[in-house]
């Protein structure tokens, strides 16, 4: 039996494979909802397990399956036996007998790994505490749609160091752009492994505590919530992160034609001001839309 095509993290892929998934995504978007792809996943079923809330990931995957001719089943936290302690291993073995692929949003990356190890069908990472690779596929697609190739561009992350920023690190190395990550040292999760990997892969990624240094001359400025799902929301967290808020003044340090992105959901007045996220440099709604197209590319790759 051939190994299933899991989509777990961007660092596990080579550049050409990621590029081909994006090319497919762009093609799906161009074709719209009425082309050849209508029957691509005819009769195929995706099970979606959510151990954390979701709006975009849930709806975009379900619509993607439907538009490609397939079907999706949602298992929310309270629906499955996972909540009563059934293991990821057993869940993967059982679902592999019913459906064609599994998308999971969970807490620890080890749960995703266990599910993938025991499933004989593709498993897609729909976010863990450690990463959010589907988001990054949509993000790269979106940047390139509005500004052309991201290769050698400068991207600045300002805010918490979290699952999304970690996938930005993977994307920087795999897609070949420069990344400056500004976040408070006190909130950084262990990044030693990432630093070693970046060096081994000759990536151009710099961690800093200075948001202005990160944003200087950037082509793209990105942020995310200060309180990720599962984080302890404390006043001190907000105080530590306040200097990293993306404001008009901070955006003014980037290139004149720089764009702003945020995976959403956003908290106006916290990680970003309303005049930035709702302003002319923001491309967050295209970014959200592209989750649909990028995930069609991922599904097509996994289920080919
Ligand atoms: N960006 C993102 O993954 O959004 P949801 O949590 O709504 O899925
Ligand atoms: N970092 C955020 C991303 C939400 C899509 C979280 O994990 O809550």
Report pLDDT digits (tens) over 239-279.
999 999 999 999 999 999 999 999 999 999 999 999 999 99
- Which ligand lies nearest to the CA atom of residue 50 in the structure? 1
The encoded tokens of residue 288 equal 């959200």
User: Distance (Å, rounded) from C-alpha 295 to C-alpha 287?
Assistant: 12
The encoded tokens of residue 123 equal 């498993």
| Three-state secondary structure call for residue 45 | strand
Is 224 one of the catalytic residues? Answer: yes
pLDDT of residue 188: 86
Distance of CA 173 to the CA centre of its chain: 15
Is 105 one of the catalytic residues? Answer: yes
Q: Which of 140-149, 182-191, 200-209 has the lowest mean pLDDT?
A: 182-191
**pLDDT surpassing 80 at residue 154:** yes
pLDDT of residue 232: 87
| pTM for this model (two decimals) | 0.97
Angle at 109 between CA 107 and CA 112, to 5 degrees: 90
Average of per-residue pLDDT values in the chain: 96
Q: Are 224 and 162 in contact (CB under 8 A)?
A: yes
pLDDT of residue 84: 94
Closest approach atom of ligand 2 to CA 227:
8
| Three-state secondary structure call for residue 49 | strand
**pLDDT surpassing 80 at residue 304:** yes
The encoded tokens of residue 117 equal 């190890």
Is 132 one of the catalytic residues? Answer: yes
Ligand 2: residues whose CB is within 6 Å?
127, 162-164, 224-225, 228-229, 263
Query: How far is the centre of ligand 1, averaged over its atoms, from the C-alpha of 58 (Å)?
Result: 8
Q: Which of 35-44, 133-142, 201-210 has the lowest mean pLDDT?
A: 35-44
221 — pLDDT class (breaks 50, 70, 90) = very high
Closest protein CA for atom 2 of ligand 2: 228
């Amino acid at each position: 039996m051939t190994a299933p095509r899991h989509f777990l993290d961007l660092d596990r892929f080579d550049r050409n494979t990621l590029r081909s998934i994006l090319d497919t995504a762009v093609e799906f978007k161009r074709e719209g909802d009425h082309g050849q792809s209508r029957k691509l996943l005819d009769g195929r079923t995706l099970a979606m397990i959510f151990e954390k809330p979701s709006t975009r990931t849930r709806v975009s995957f379900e619509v993607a399956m439907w538009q490609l001719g397939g079907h999706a089943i949602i298992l929310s936290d309270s629906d499955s036996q996972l909540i009563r302690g059934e293991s990821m291993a057993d869940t993967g073995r059982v679902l592999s007998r019913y459906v064609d692929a599994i998308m999971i949003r969970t807490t620890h990356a080890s749960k995703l790994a266990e599910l993938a190890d025991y499933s004989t069908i593709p498993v897609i990472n729909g976010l863990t505490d450690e990463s959010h690779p589907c988001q990054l596929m949509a993000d790269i697609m979106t940047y390139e749609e509005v500004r052309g190739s991201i290769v050698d561009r400068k991207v600045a992350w300002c805010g918490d160091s979290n699952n999304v920023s970690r996938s930005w690190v993977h994307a920087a190395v795999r897609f070949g752009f420069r990344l400056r990550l500004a976040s408070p040292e006190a909130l950084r999760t262990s990044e030693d492994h990432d630093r070693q990997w970046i060096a081994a892969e000759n990536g151009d990624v710099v961690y800093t505590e200075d948001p202005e240094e990160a944003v200087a001359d950037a082509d793209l400025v990105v942020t995310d919530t200060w309180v990720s799902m599962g984080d302890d929301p404390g006043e001190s967290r907000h105080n530590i992160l306040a200097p990293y808020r993306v404001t008009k003044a901070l955006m003014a340090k980037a290139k004149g034609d720089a764009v702003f992105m945020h995976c959403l959901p956003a908290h106006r007045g916290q990680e970003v001001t309303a005049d930035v996220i709702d302003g002319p440099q923001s491309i967050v709604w295209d970014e959200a839309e592209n989750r649909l197209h990028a995930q069609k590319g991922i599904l097509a790759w996994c289920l080919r």
